[in-house]
Amino acid sequence: MIRLESVRKVFPGATAPAVTSLSLEIPEGEFVTLVGPSGCGKTTTLKMINRIIEPTSGTIEVGGQDVLSIEPHLLRRSIGYVIQQVGLLPHRTVEQNIATVPRLLGWPRDRIEARVAELVEMVGLEHEMRDRYPAELSGGQQQRVGVARALAADPPVLLMDEPFGAVDPIVREHLQMEFKDLWRRLGKTVVFVTHDIDEAVRMGTRVAILNIGGVLEQYDRPEEILANPASEFVARFLGEERGLRRLGLLPVSSATLERGPVVDVSAGPTEARAVMDRHEVDWVGLLDGNRLLGWVPASEIGSTPLRDLEPREFLVRLRPDDSLRRALDAVVTSRTRVGVVVGDEGYLGMLDVETVAEEITE
Amino acid sequence: MIDFLREVGAWFADPANWTGNRGLPGLLSAHVGLTLASLAVSAVLALPAAVYLGHKRRGGALVVSVVNIGRAVPTFGVMGVIFPLTLAFSATARPLGYWATFVAMVLLAMPPMFVNAYTGVRDVDPALVEAARGMGMTDRQVLTDVELPLALPLVMAGIRTAAVAVVATVTLSAWLGYGSLGTYVFVGFAQRDQVLVFVGGLAVAVLAVITELGLGGLERLVDPLRAIRRRRR
């Protein structure tokens, strides 16, 4: 657990404090994102936890220990640290970079080697990359090495300062998803600074929204923040797409799915037409048992048995763990105006705009 | 022209020019000896201070003054001023003119050594230093494991610049009577012996080029990013 109590930071020569008086408790195993506009003191707050920046006053505890009572370099060896610029040593190989903290801790060589091998795999790097130099890696690969380096000595706490800010959006999304998975597996306490509210609500199990001068505006689960912003500032910071962002956090499985206009291929054309009439649509989905084959437009349903028709693919097949935001996108871009959901056991059902809207207003 | 070169050749062929105080090996070793001594002392005076200030990222104004003073100091003037003061020493341990040249050479070598070492350490990417500290390196480990290795090529470049300047300028010692390759030049001028002047100039030039190339090679050798640069080629 990390506990900040009345933490204050005034930089020398500054007129206003960077952090006025911040109290924050981060329970063990939580993924807390610190988010706010520039000047809100989020990075300063993060860097005070491992004493890269020394607090002016207040108490910071990590795992019940006052950080100010521990030698800074010893403290930092027990806390993982990832920064946006990565900061890999350019004259050291990937392997040597990952081994930085274990080496500082004086681990025996074979233990370090085994740990590096494990980490390379964990962060999704190729083993051949161990002998490469940072300059020979892409930005995304470099940040994977940065994460591996931070995890090397298995610290209970990880501090991350906009770790995925410098990579392109596609790689960023990959890294975010992978890191969230990694976090689920490892159960670390993570403090993650970002200026991107989408990233904050997507990654965090709790989100701390900071205002200028380190004023804590709201600290809660992301769903709760999106549903009930505590202040005008939070509402404004969340922006206009609050509803959509909230959908981004809810899985498809949380919505009530309908069976929708589907028939089994063993049924006759008459039954298919009846289903279409009942749902007031001009297409029908075809099932073969549990398997969703696709859909056919009303115009193609004549006297031929359904089994002989060539069904069209649904452009997007949603999985139960996809977000409702993705589902909504599937609905509005599809010809059929529905999102079909398919799980491991086959067809689960479909949802339309109304189903999704219900989830927002709930 | 041909005749002149033939005379130069004859000079090198003459065994008398290869022995004794005025012989090429003797003057060369005196020249190199004075160069090495003054470079060593400059390095001791300039490098630790430069590395320390670079590490602390302080003293930018000091560095600017060092450069400007370094540019402004007239080597000839220094030698002329110091020479009378060192007569007492010269009579004892070292020959006449040694100490005055030595002091002037130390002053000549210090600015490039200082500035390069300072810049090299100070300009190491701050993000790198922060990451290293964040990993739990001590202040000293940040210096020895991160800043110094990365600054080394620049430190070496400063030493090379200083060495080339000194090796060329030590020639002036002959003006104060201390035997160096400059002796050929000065004596040659005095005796209107063009061949001797030429031999002296040639020797100094060759020595300077060797210094430049040798230290340039060493510089590439100590480059911590050498492995990757080579691989990328």
- C-alpha span between A108 and A181 (Å, rounded): 30
**Chain B residues touching A100 at Cβ < 8 A:** 132, 135, 137
Amino acid at A28: E
Best residue of A51, A89, A95, A161 to probe chain B, by most B CBs closer than 10 Å:
A89
A166 touches chain B (CB under 8 A): no
Query: Of the candidates B125, B133, B146, which has its C-beta nearest A76's C-beta?
Result: B133
pLDDT at A250 (0 to 100): 85
Of the candidates A94, A137, A133, the one whose C-alpha atom is nearest the C-alpha of residue A116 is A94
Query: Of the candidates B136, B149, B232, which has its C-beta nearest A73's C-beta?
Result: B136
Query: Of the candidates A135, A149, A159, which has its C-beta nearest B228's C-beta?
Result: A135
- C-alpha span between B95 and B103 (Å, rounded): 14
B131·A76 Cβ contact <8 A = no
Supply the DSSP string of chain B, one letter for each residue: -HHHHHHHHHHHH-GGGGSSTTSHHHHHHHHHHHHHHHHHHHHHHHHHHHHHHHHHT--HHHHHHHHHHHHH--HHHHHHHHHHHHHHHHHHTS-TTHHHHHHHHHHHHHHHHHHHHHHHHHTS-HHHHHHHHHHT--HHHIIIIIIHHHHHHHHHHHHHHHHHHHHHHGGGGGGGT--STHHHHHHHHHTT-HHHHHHHHHHHHHHHHHHHHHHHHHHHHT-TTHHHHHHH-
Tokens found for residue A324:
């409702």
Identify the H or E element spanning A72: helix A72-77
A74 touches chain B (CB under 8 A): yes
Q: Which domains does chain A have, with CATH numbers?
A: 2-250 (3.40.50.300), 253-361 (3.10.580.10)
Best residue of B128, B130, B135, B228 to probe chain A, by most A CBs closer than 10 Å:
B135
**Do B58 and B64 contact (CB within 8 A), yes or no?**
no
Identify the H or E element spanning A94: helix A94-98
Q: Using one digit for the tens of pLDDT, what is the confidence trace for B73-119? A: 788 888 888 888 877 765 566 778 888 899 999 999 999 999 999 99
Q: Are strands A215-220 and A262-264 parallel, antiparallel or unpaired?
A: unpaired
End-to-end CA distance of chain B: 46
Angle at the Cα of B196 (from B10 to B27), degrees rounded to 5? Answer: 100
- Who wins on pLDDT, A189 or A290? A189
Q: Using one digit for the tens of pLDDT, what is the confidence trace for A119-137? A: 999 999 999 999 999 999 9
pLDDT at B89 (0 to 100): 65
**Do B152 and B117 contact (CB within 8 A), yes or no?**
no
Q: Using one digit for the tens of pLDDT, what is the confidence trace for A40-58? A: 999 999 999 999 999 999 9
CA torsion sign for B13, B19, B22, B27 is positive
| Structure confidence at residue A300 as a pLDDT band (50, 70, 90) | confident
Tokens found for residue A289:
């048992």
Q: Are strands A65-66 and A79-83 parallel, antiparallel or unpaired?
A: unpaired
- C-alpha span between A248 and A321 (Å, rounded): 11
Closest CA in chain B for residue A77? B136
B135·A149 Cβ contact <8 A = yes
Q: Using one digit for the tens of pLDDT, what is the confidence trace for A23-37? A: 999 999 999 999 999
CA torsion sign for A72, A186, A181, A353 is negative
Of the candidates B206, B224, B120, B115, the one whose C-alpha atom is nearest the C-alpha of residue B167 is B206
Of the candidates B67, B77, B31, the one whose C-alpha atom is nearest the C-alpha of residue B46 is B67
B232·A81 Cβ contact <8 A = no
pLDDT at A249 (0 to 100): 83
A87·B232 Cβ contact <8 A = no
Q: Are strands A31-35 and A65-66 parallel, antiparallel or unpaired?
A: unpaired
A149 touches chain B (CB under 8 A): yes
pLDDT at B82 (0 to 100): 85
Of the candidates B107, B103, B74, B109, the one whose C-alpha atom is nearest the C-alpha of residue B173 is B103
A73·B227 Cβ contact <8 A = no
Cβ neighbours of residue B225 under 8 Å, at least 6 residues apart? A90, A91, A133, A135
Per the listing, tokens 């740990």 go with: A115
**Chain A residues touching B231 at Cβ < 8 A:** 133, 136
In angstroms, the Cα distances linking A69 to A5, A27, A163, B138, B142 are 15, 21, 28, 16, 22
**Do B132 and A149 contact (CB within 8 A), yes or no?**
no
Cβ neighbours of residue B105 under 8 Å, at least 6 residues apart? B34, B35, B38, B39, B42, B166, B169, B170
- C-alpha span between B175 and B172 (Å, rounded): 5
- C-alpha span between A227 and A249 (Å, rounded): 11
**Do B132 and B146 contact (CB within 8 A), yes or no?**
yes
Q: Which domains does chain B have, with CATH numbers?
A: 24-232 (1.10.3720.10)
**Do B21 and B209 contact (CB within 8 A), yes or no?**
no
**Chain B residues touching A146 at Cβ < 8 A:** 131
A86·B133 Cβ contact <8 A = no
Query: Of the candidates A85, A104, A136, which has its C-beta nearest B137's C-beta?
Result: A104
**Do A283 and A313 contact (CB within 8 A), yes or no?**
no
- C-alpha span between A238 and A221 (Å, rounded): 14
B137·A73 Cβ contact <8 A = yes
Tokens found for residue A260:
């929708």
**Count of CB atoms within 10 A of residue A344's CB?**
7
Q: Using one digit for the tens of pLDDT, what is the confidence trace for A215-225? A: 999 999 998 99
- C-alpha span between A330 and B4 (Å, rounded): 92
pLDDT at B232 (0 to 100): 62
B128·A76 Cβ contact <8 A = no
- What is the least distance, in Å, from the CA of A69 to any CA of chain B? 15
- What is the least distance, in Å, from the CA of A71 to any CA of chain B? 10
Strand partners, A211: A215
End-to-end CA distance of chain A: 33
| Structure confidence at residue A167 as a pLDDT band (50, 70, 90) | confident
In order along chain B (233 residues), what is the average pLDDT of each group of 10 residues? 90 89 90 96 95 91 80 83 76 76 93 94 94 96 95 95 96 90 93 93 96 94 81 63
pLDDT at B233 (0 to 100): 56
Tokens found for residue A215:
């004023």
**Chain A residues touching B149 at Cβ < 8 A:** 91
Percentage of the residues of chain A whose pLDDT score is greater than 70: 100
The answer to whether residue A160 scores a pLDDT higher than 90 is yes
Query: Of the candidates A76, A88, A133, which has its C-beta nearest B136's C-beta?
Result: A76
A86·B127 Cβ contact <8 A = yes
